[in-house]
Amino acid sequence: MNRILFIVAALIALVLAIVLFLPGLIPVAAFKGRIETQASNALGREVTFGDDLSFRIFPRTAFRVTDLTIANADGFSGDYLARVEEADIGVKLLPLFSDSVEIDRFVLTRPDIRLTRSANGAVNWNLAQTESAEPSEAETGGTQRDLKLGDVRIVDGAARYEDLAAGTSYVAEDIDMKVVLKSLSEPLEANGTMQFQGAPASVDMVLTSLQNVMNKEPGNLKLDLKVGDAEIGADLSIATKDGVRYSGPASLSAPDLPALAALAGTELADAPGFDSLSVKGDLDGNENSVRLQNAEINFDEIAAQGAITLNWAGARPKASGVLSTEKLDLRPYMPPPVENAEGFPEWSEATMDFSSLNNIDADFDISTNAIYVNDLEFGESRIKLLVDAGRLTAEIPELSMYGGQGSGRMVVNARGATPSFAGNFDVGAVQAQPFSKDLMKHDNLLGLGSFKLNFTATGASQAAIMRTVDGSGGFDLADGALKGVNIAGLVRAVGEFQTGFNPAALQRAVAEARGPTQQTDFSEFLSDFSIANGLITAPTIRLNGPYLSMTGQGTINLAEQTIDLRLLPKGSSTLDGEEGGRTITIPVRVGGTFSKPTMGVDAESLARTGLQRTLENVFKDKEGEDGAKAEQDPARTIIEGIIGGQKKPTEPQPEDGDAGATESKPKSTEETLINEGLNALFGRKKAAPAEEQKEEEPQQ
């Protein structure tokens, strides 16, 4: 028993002696040249290191070297591909006793790696190719020598990639990476962490096989990459026969799209939208473009399906495709509406930023079930969207809005210092109430009809745009109503005045005609208008309804949000003005602002209309059918009484009870209103009762 223990102790001592003393027995300096040769053969580049060389057996047999340098390929600037502060080069122990060195691993501490792609596409890191910036035998279909790296670990490394063809460069720091390549025919595996362009990143990659790819035969790449908040996953078939091509399922999730774009060397304009992006589907791409089939895309608040192509070969990346989406929410890219609890919001003077249109070009055919533009909601529609160097054109061959159908075109040009706009819309069978509620912030217009609008404008804010709008348009509504006012009732109420022009009664009639329960029904309501510098001019306004017909004209100042409409409603005591009824026309004026519109009888127009009609007939003596002088027009008497005139000989008045006595003809309501309106216009007071009047000489 004691003998066995002695043998075990002796073996342990022998092992310890080997571990402790054998490294000192090996002439390390004699192996320096051989290790450099073996490392050069393994990497395919000249490898050199400093004189500080040591050897150890435990825990794994390895040489420790410092100042290791891997030479750069011929034709590339810079002295080295990599420079390593300290390296452990793992070797097999037994071959050392036969004066041979076999390397099976590298541990590189604080390496500095410089990767370069030349202007002609050659790269300096392909260790299986010859040391030249010209296309190698591998690139022309020749064979390559085998490359065996074993296990390679990078500790606290740094790398810089420079693409001279694209003019871009990227930097990675704090690299902790493990790479396994036992031979070119076996998988290349790499996984680790780093700081990429200042953002934390991790990579897990398997390529099978590197030899196939280099021989322009199909290979496979599995990739899981995380950079910042973004995640990229792919399982791709790789082919290099006619340039690099790849295909297979892939996914991208970028909750912070501007940050990911900045890491890739593209600065997105600081503008509304372009906040997040997630994509997954089947890739088919090459060095300059990629197409995504069966795509599921979530861009900001927009979720879409279809096919999309991204091409980055030009001055700007370009996206194109055919997509369908449940909703197209454009609100994040529009200036937010100004909140105003008191009514219609004022136009904002805040600068609108359309510079995001310069981020990327686009050509899309989009079908959607809903479109949101601030407070406006559109239904099922189709849009052909084109973005070219900052100019957006949206052709809308199918536009559904508020129950109606139509088409339109919208252009936003952000190429210049001041953006410009143009639009052309024509829709029919639109429900006016919800449309006016979302557009004008009131629901006082009911009916079903058509709208058309053509416009151009320039400006960097809502207010500036409204000051420069030019164009034309019109509307034609049927079977609707104007809520909040009963114009027919107002006309009838004024027509029932029996005591002349009574301001108090008029004010009372206007008040009674307005209110939330009042409305003006119509069978048609239409107008055409023009727009110049934000001023809408409507030369013709026409409305027809039961007991009422109306014409008018006026202006609406978009920039100032003011209204000035003069309307001439004609009320009738019979439906649709049938014969035998009584009619009266009362001019109405609509004014105020979008937030606080006003309405009342237009006394100025009333007086002006009466004066014009009277002057046309004031000095004309009409004749009856039998040639006798007709009864004098009461308007002539009104004018003569106001401005003075020749007194007519007073005819004898019949005695009381005479058979020929005639009663004085009462004045019509319209005549009374005109008389009182003219008196007010010319400053005349209402006549006193007959018994109090005094005889006055006519005024010249």
DSSP 398-465: EEEETTEEEEEEEEEE-SSSS-EEEEEEEEEEEEHHHHHHHHHS---EEEEEEEEEEEEEE-SSHHHH
- Residues with Cβ within 8 Å of 658's Cβ and at least 6 positions away in sequence, in order, are none
Query: 72, 114, 71, 66: which is closest to 89 by C-alpha?
Result: 66
The DSSP H or E segment spanning 213 is helix 210-214
- Residues with Cβ within 8 Å of 362's Cβ and at least 6 positions away in sequence, in order, are 318, 319, 320, 385, 386, 387
pLDDT on residue 33: 82
Neighbouring C-alpha atoms within 13 Å toward the C-beta of 627? 0
Whether the CA torsion 537, 540, 545, 550 is positive or negative: it is positive
Neighbouring C-alpha atoms within 13 Å toward the C-beta of 537? 7
Cross-strand partners of 285? 246, 290
Q: How far apart are CA 9 and CA 115, in angstroms?
A: 54
Maximal CA-CA distance, the chain:
173
Find the angle CA(185)-CA(191)-CA(194) to the nearest 5 degrees.
Answer: 140
Q: Are 588 and 602 in contact (CB under 8 A)?
A: yes
Range 675-680, long-range pairs (CB < 8 A, 24+ positions): 675/500, 675/501, 675/610, 675/638, 676/500, 676/501, 677/501, 677/603, 677/606, 677/607, 677/610, 678/607, 678/610, 678/611, 678/614, 678/638, 678/639, 678/642, 679/501, 679/642, 680/501, 680/603, 680/607
Neighbouring C-alpha atoms within 13 Å toward the C-beta of 653? 4
Q: How far apart are CA 159 and CA 177, in angstroms?
A: 12
Cross-strand partners of 365? 322, 384
pLDDT on residue 493: 75
The DSSP H or E segment spanning 636 is helix 634-643
Structure-block tokens of residue 298? 């979530």
Going from the first residue of the chain to its last (700 residues), give the mean pLDDT of each consecutive group of 10, the final group possibly shorter. Answer: 51 46 54 79 83 70 82 88 86 56 75 90 73 46 54 89 85 92 83 94 90 82 94 91 88 92 77 84 91 92 92 86 91 66 78 85 94 88 93 93 92 94 94 87 88 95 95 95 85 64 71 85 94 96 90 95 92 64 80 87 67 49 50 48 46 46 47 51 47 41
Q: How far apart are CA 150 and CA 488, in angstroms?
A: 96
Q: Are 226 and 194 in contact (CB under 8 A)?
A: no
Whether the CA torsion 357, 328, 260, 207 is positive or negative: it is negative
pLDDT on residue 659: 43
Task: Classify 135 as helix, strand or coil.
Answer: coil
pLDDT on residue 510: 76
Number of alpha helices (DSSP H) and beta strands (DSSP E) in the chain? 12, 33
pTM more than 0.85 = no
Whether the CA torsion 575, 581, 584, 585 is positive or negative: it is positive
Q: Are 360 and 316 in contact (CB under 8 A)?
A: yes
pLDDT on residue 648: 46
Task: Classify 171 as helix, strand or coil.
Answer: strand
Which residues in 198-288 belong to E strands, given as ranges? 199-208, 219-227, 230-239, 245-254, 277-286
